[in-house]
Amino acid sequence: GAVVSQHPSWVICKSGTSVKIECRSLDFQATTMFWYRQFPKQSLMLMATSNEGSKATYEQGVEKDKFLINHASLTLSTLTVTSAHPEDSSFYICSARRRGRAEAFFGQGTRLTVV
Amino acid sequence: QKEVEQDPGPLSVPEGAIVSLNCTYSNSAFQYFMWYRQYSRKGPELLMYTYSSGNKEDGRFTAQVDKSSKYISLFIRDSQPSDSATYLCAMSAGGSYIPTFGRGTSLIVHP
C-alpha cells in the first residue's frame, strides 16, 4: 500500500503561537491531499482539500486565515494553525490520493494540545 | 438524513465470530467504496477498496457493494481481539473523489 507520513505525531504549544503540521506521500505522487479534524469518539471532519499547485478549498465554517494549507509539491502538504487557542486542541489527520484514483491513504495523525 | 449512515455500535463479539459491518447511503452518484480501520489515536488504515457493485475478498475480509439497495458491507471472518477498532466506511463519486465518511462502528472482539 501507499505510505503517508505525518509529522509531528503530537505537539504542545502555547496559546497565541503557530504550529505547522507536515504531510508527505513517501512512495507516490499525491495530486490531492485532504486535511481532517477529529474529536474524541467522532468521525472525521473534512477541513479542506488541496490540489498540487492550487489554493486549498475550505469546507464551510473552517477559517482559512487560521488554518493555512500549502500544497507546494506532489509529495508535501502543510497545515499551519495560526494563533492557536485551547479550542484548537484536537487530532488532525491528513490523507492523500493519486490522480485518477479514489482511494486515499492516511497519515498517522497529529495530536495538538494548546495550553 | 445524512448522506452516509453507519451504526456507531459498539458491536461486541466473541473471538472467532464472523462480523458484519454495514453502511447505507443516499447519493446514487457514489461509485467508489472504501473501508478503513482506525485504532485509537491513530490515522485510519485502508482495508478494502471497491469500484461499483460486487464483492471483493482479501484474506479474512470481504467487502460487498449493492448499488441497487445503496448498501455496503464488510465481513470479517475468524475475528481476533486485534480486530478491535473503529471501522469507517467511505464513498465518493468520480471527478472530485472527495470521500464522504460514515461516523464509524466501534468493534470489540473479546477473547
pLDDT band, very low/low/confident/very high, at B16 (cuts 50, 70, 90): very high
**Given this model, what pLDDT does residue A1 score?**
67
Q: Is A46 on the interface with B (CB under 8 A)?
A: yes
pLDDT tens readout for residues B82-93: 999 999 999 999
pLDDT tens readout for residues B60-79: 999 999 999 999 999 999 99
Query: Under an 8 A CB cutoff, do A105 and B46 touch?
Result: yes
Q: Which stretches in chain A have pLDDT values below 70?
A: 1
How remote is the C-alpha of B41 from its chain's centroid? 19
* Contact (CB, 8 A) for A86 and A12: no
Gap between the Cα atoms of B46 and A47, Å rounded = 20
Query: Under an 8 A CB cutoff, do A101 and B97 touch?
Result: yes
Question: In sequence order, what are the residues at sequence separation of 6 or more whose Cβ sits closer than 8 angstroms to the Cβ of residue B78?
Answer: B16, B18, B60
Query: Under an 8 A CB cutoff, do B46 and A1 touch?
Result: yes
- Which member of A32, A49, A108 has the closest CB to residue B43? A108
Amino acid at B59: G
Gap between the Cα atoms of B38 and B43, Å rounded = 6
- Which member of B45, B98, B102 has the closest CB to residue A49? B98
